[in-house]
Chain A
Amino acid sequence: MDFNDSAEEARVRAEARAWLEESFPVWRSENGDPPYTTEQARSWHRALAAGDYGAPHWPVEYGGRGYGPVESAIWAEEKARVGANIVFNMVGFGMAGPTIIAHGTEEQKQRHIRAMLNGNEIWCQLFSEPGAGSDLASLATRAFRDGDEWIVNGQKVWSSQADEADYGILLARFDPDKPKHEGLAYFIVDMHTPGVEVRPLRQIDGDAHFSEVFLSDVRVPDANRIGEPGDGWRVATTTLMHERMSIGTSTGGYTFPFVKLAEIARSRYALDPVVRDNLARVYTQERILDFLNKRILSKLRRGEIPTAEGSILKLAIANLSSDAALLGVHLLGPDGALAGEGPQQHFLWERSLHIGGGTDEIQRNVIAERVLGLPREARPDKGLPFSQTRTAG
């Protein structure tokens, strides 16, 4: 066991740090402080791509550096260190890209991977539906084969960034007579295709980060299918695993930073023992996340697939993010009531991390059933053709 960088890892870190220290301040001086607009985030992404840091975890042949999980984590740490962990095209880099690399055709890879890398394509995820959230596999959007094309009809919801997206990864049902997981197909959808209508939804923080997406007779070329028609769920599992991990490893973007929390505490309540306790408590949670990340990385490095770890990681980061936000609001005293950036903004998002990417309960079910081997929850629709389930009826 060794928690320190190896010589090679230290080299990767030094290289990343040097590059960031040279490039980030230049970009920053032109763009000021967060929050950044999509266009600003895109311009930072392009600077990254010019330095070969657009998606260092991707294989060299697709424009990455072929970083393994440990190198990727080092890169993420170094970005976070200087505040350069600006989220851009999270669905593209964190979910669609890895899924296409793992399951896509060569033609799909050529078409999209480079374009994503260059910052030219923003992606969204068209999975959840009004009737299918936690029970994603019961989704009702239909895809009918028509020659070289599929015709898609249905409604998606909570699709983050769909209003800005160029492409979406779509899960749709092609055969309702198969059991729910087996009748699904996975597609790439051009969001500019006729019949795709995006209606932004406003959230509790006043912004519209996600949308409803209505699909009416949308024609999708068969060349945009990822995996065989019955493979939709298996392909989606890859996406969902990457989703959990990218939520879990993106501490900087989703939680109120500990250093800032500590700053507020120091300036207002340095000697209050209760505040000190609570601050220390949040700090221990943050450290736990670090270790969880390391465990996942070391597993990946040994060629094993982390399952429970992704769920634990997502639960841990959601808890950390709530506790940090609530403590931050509390530390601000009456100012915590005011609308603004800072912990108040994180308070408004506090619940979202417990819901998006599979809720807390779903992650706990994964741990209980798949890791600890507890009996599976009774599922009345198990094995039934989808068309005969309550959901379909």
Chain B
Amino acid sequence: MNLALTEEQDAVRGLARQIFDGRLTADRLKEIAATEDAFDRALWEELARANLLGIAVSEEFGGSGHGIIELCLLLEEVGRAVAPVPAFEALVLGALPLSQFGTPEQKTRYLPGVVEGKIILTGALPEDESSVTARRDGAAWVLDGLAFGVPAVHLASAIVVVASNALFLVDVASVSTARNVVTSHELRFDVSFGGVSAELLGEATAIAWLRERGLLGLCAMQTGVAEKALRLTAEYTSSREQFGRPLGSFQAVQQRVADCYIDVEAMRWTMWQAAWRVSEGFEATEEVLIAKFWASEAGQRVLSAAMHLHGGIGVDVSYPLHRYTLWAKQIELTLGGAAAQLEKLGDVMATCD
């Protein structure tokens, strides 16, 4: 057993952190949030130049051919920086299933562009049953129905879609969309597939395969979000004084911060356990559910505490903490919150011998 990162993995994390820390000043985040599509294109291009967008794409298509662990390291940094880039959408929901299930032609069509930052992909991956249906039309496939709450559609060229009991690839230009705004001020789209043609990517097992990785990606981001919120809180309560002493010298504050640390560690290690099993090709259903349970429930708890320990400044948008709170809630609710994970885990527990 060895739970340490390899030198290469350490380097990935260091590189990502350096890029995010260098670019995403508080002012820059504000500036991007005020734009129409809330996307930091320059940052995306820089990630491409550092070959981080190709982290889990094979060398054949210009990537660096790493796996899910390295991708999770990148996503953790995305969360840590609350970075306004569609990394989860493009790299997890889009590029992973394309790499795994796509034909050589499909891969050639999209993956080099993803690696170079020129093509963005996204995915319509529902928590449970899909409300999109697929039917055959001669040799082709046609999709009908609505997918709700799909992220990054306004930036993407193609969507990986769960329809009926299989995974498809659809050109964004062929669908119509209605935009919604979520509590984190980001856009989500209701995508309507009115008889659009689609390419088959994989059968039912591909959905489970993708859902596992989707959940994992969310857990990695949430770990970064919670970890950074905790660091901000530790710094803030160490420097702010009330009653003639630092807030952090009050036991009520210390105990709560320490509990947050325990929560973040639980999030981190349930996530790595699941990521490692997935990357080794082991059965990981249970581990992924456990990780997403912690990411959801402990994520909410840590952000609540972080906000609380900041007092009034936590509520004020000129201080960065609120972004972490808003992200954490979105990540918590995506692909099912804590209760949904427990229910599924309960099913696993109750039905195994």
Contact = CB atoms under 8 A, between A and B. Distances in A.
Contact of A355 (B308, B317, B329, B333): B308
B304 interface: yes
Interface stretch (A25-33, A145-153, A309-317, A345-353): A345-353
A134 B329 CA distance: 28
Interface string A367-391: 0000000000101110000000111
Contact-size category for B: 35 or more
A69 interface: no
Contact of A379 (B243, B253, B300, B322): B243
Interface string B302-327: 00100110011011111000100110
Nearest to A364: B252
Given A203-B316, A330-B339, A390-B244, A339 B182 contact: yes
B149 interface: yes
A201 interface: yes
Interface residues of A, number: 44
Contacts of B188: 337-338
A116 B328 CA distance: 42
A89 interface: no
Given A330-B337, A361-B250, A391-B244, A354 B308 contact: yes
A157 interface: yes
B316 A338 contact: no
Given A135-B243, A334-B333, A355 B311 contact: yes
A334 B312 contact: no
Nearest to A132: B242
B279 interface: no
19 contacts: A132-B242, A133-B311, A133-B312, A134-B242, A134-B311, A135-B243, A135-B244, A138-B244, A203-B317, A329-B333, A334-B148, A337-B333, A337-B334, A338-B149, A347-B329, A355-B314, A360-B308, A380-B243, A391-B244
Contact of B244 (A329, A333, A338, A389): A389
B312 A157 contact: yes
A274 B339 contact: yes
The residue among A128, A361, A381 with the most chain B CB atoms within 10 A of its own CB is A361
Interface of B: 127, 148-149, 180-183, 185, 188, 241-245, 250, 252-253, 300, 304, 307-308, 311-312, 314-318, 322, 325-326, 329-330, 333-334, 337, 339, 343
Contacts of B339: 274, 330
Contacts of A337: 149, 182-183, 188, 329-330, 333-334
A348 B304 contact: no
Contacts of A359: 308, 311
Nearest to A349: B315
Contacts of A336: 333
Interface in A208-267: none
Interface of A: 128, 132-135, 138, 157-158, 201-204, 206, 274, 322, 326, 329-330, 333-334, 336-339, 344, 347-348, 350-352, 354-356, 359-361, 364, 377, 379-381, 389-391
Contacts of A274: 339, 343
Contacts of A350: 304
A204 B325 contact: yes
Contacts of A135: 242-244
A334 B149 contact: yes
A362 to B, nearest CB: 10
A326 B300 contact: yes
A46 B252 CA distance: 45
A380 B315 contact: no
Given A203-B315, A334-B148, A390-B244, A351 B181 contact: no
A334 to B, nearest CB: 5
Contacts of A132: 242
Question: Closest 10 CB pairs between A and B?
Answer: A135-B242, A204-B322, A381-B244, A380-B244, A351-B307, A158-B312, A135-B243, A202-B317, A337-B182, A339-B181
Given A337-B333, A338-B188, A355 B315 contact: yes
A279 B325 CA distance: 24
Contact of A344 (B149, B183, B307, B322): B183
A298 B274 CA distance: 56
A354 B343 CA distance: 31
A351 B148 contact: no
A338 B180 contact: yes
Contacts of B252: 361, 364
A344 B308 CA distance: 18
A133 B242 contact: yes
